[in-house]
Amino acid sequence: MTFWEFDIQFGDFILDIAILNMLLIVGVLCRWRISFFQKYLIPSSLIAGFLGLILGPELLKILNFQTDRMGLYLYHLLAILFISIGLQKTQKKKTRGALHVGFLFVMSYLVQICIGIGSMLFIAYLINPDIVPAIGMLLPLGYGMGPGLAYSIGYSWEVEYGVAGAGSVGLTISAVGFLIAYFAGMTIVNRGIRRGKSTLLASPKELNRATLTGLVTDENPASAGSLRFHGSSIEPLTFHLGLIGLIYLLTYFVTTGLDMLLRSVGVNEQVAILWAFHFLIANLIAVATAKFLRKEGNDNLIDPGLNQRLTGLFTDYLIVAAIMAISLRVAWDYAGPILLMCIPGAIVTGFMLKALTYRVFDEHQFERFTGVFGEMTGTLASGLALVRVTDPEFNTPIAQDLGLGSGMAFILGFPLFVIINMPFVFFEGQLYGYWIVIGICLAYILIILFIWKLFGLKLHQRISNTDL
Domain that holds residue 408: 2-206+235-454
**pLDDT value of residue 197:** 82
Q: Is residue 293 part of a domain?
A: yes
Q: Is residue 223 part of a domain?
A: no
Residue 9 backbone zone (phi > 0: left; psi -120 to 50: alpha; other: beta): beta
The burial class, CB within 10 Å (0-12 / 13-18 / 19+), for 126 is exposed
Model confidence at 458, pLDDT cuts 50, 70, 90, reads very low
* pLDDT, tens digit, 9 for 90 and up, residues 82-128: 899 889 876 555 567 888 888 999 999 999 999 999 999 999 999 99
**pLDDT value of residue 339:** 96
Residues 442-453 have a mean pLDDT of 91
The total number of residues shown for the chain amounts to 468
* pLDDT, tens digit, 9 for 90 and up, residues 351-367: 999 999 998 888 889 98
Q: What b-and-e string marks burial along 40-77, b requiring 16 or more CB atoms within 10 Å of the CB?
A: bbbbbbbbbbbbbbebbeeeeeebebebebbbbbbbbb
Q: What's the rounded Cα separation, in Å, for the pair 174 and 52? A: 16
Asked if residues 171 and 151 have their Cβ atoms less than 8 Å apart, the reply is: yes
Q: What's the rounded Cα separation, in Å, for the pair 333 and 444? A: 33
Q: What's the rounded Cα separation, in Å, for the pair 52 and 377? A: 22
Model confidence at 462, pLDDT cuts 50, 70, 90, reads very low
Model confidence at 193, pLDDT cuts 50, 70, 90, reads confident
Element (H, E) at 14: helix 10-33
Q: Is residue 23 part of a domain?
A: yes
**pLDDT value of residue 247:** 97
- Other CB atoms within a 10 A radius of the CB of residue 432 amount to 9
Q: Is residue 302 part of a domain?
A: yes
Residue 41 backbone zone (phi > 0: left; psi -120 to 50: alpha; other: beta): left
The burial class, CB within 10 Å (0-12 / 13-18 / 19+), for 2 is middle
What Cα–Cα distance (Å) separates residue 148 from each residue in 75, 85, 432? 6, 14, 29
The residue type at 271: V
**pLDDT value of residue 433:** 94
- Which residue has better confidence, 334 or 207? 334
214: Cβ–Cβ under 8 A, 6 or more apart, which residues? Answer: 28, 31, 32, 43, 44
* pLDDT, tens digit, 9 for 90 and up, residues 41-90: 888 999 999 999 999 999 999 999 999 999 999 999 989 988 998 898 76
- Other CB atoms within a 10 A radius of the CB of residue 119 amount to 23
* pLDDT, tens digit, 9 for 90 and up, residues 234-261: 999 999 999 999 999 999 999 999 999 9
- Per DSSP, 460 falls in state T
* pLDDT, tens digit, 9 for 90 and up, residues 217-234: 776 777 888 888 888 899
The burial class, CB within 10 Å (0-12 / 13-18 / 19+), for 223 is exposed
318: Cβ–Cβ under 8 A, 6 or more apart, which residues? Answer: 74, 77, 78, 81, 146, 147, 148
Q: Is residue 345 part of a domain?
A: yes
Q: Is residue 437 part of a domain?
A: yes
Average pLDDT along the chain: 87
Q: What's the rounded Cα separation, in Å, for the pair 112 and 177? A: 12
**pLDDT value of residue 91:** 55
Asked if residues 91 and 359 have their Cβ atoms less than 8 Å apart, the reply is: no
Number of domains making up the chain:
1
Model confidence at 438, pLDDT cuts 50, 70, 90, reads very high
**pLDDT value of residue 93:** 52
Q: Is residue 254 part of a domain?
A: yes
Q: What's the rounded Cα separation, in Å, for the pair 104 and 409? A: 8
Q: In terms of Cα–Cα distance, which of 293, 285, 320, 290 is closest to 307?
A: 290
Q: Over pLDDT 90: what percentage of the chain?
A: 52
**pLDDT value of residue 464:** 40
Q: Is residue 168 part of a domain?
A: yes
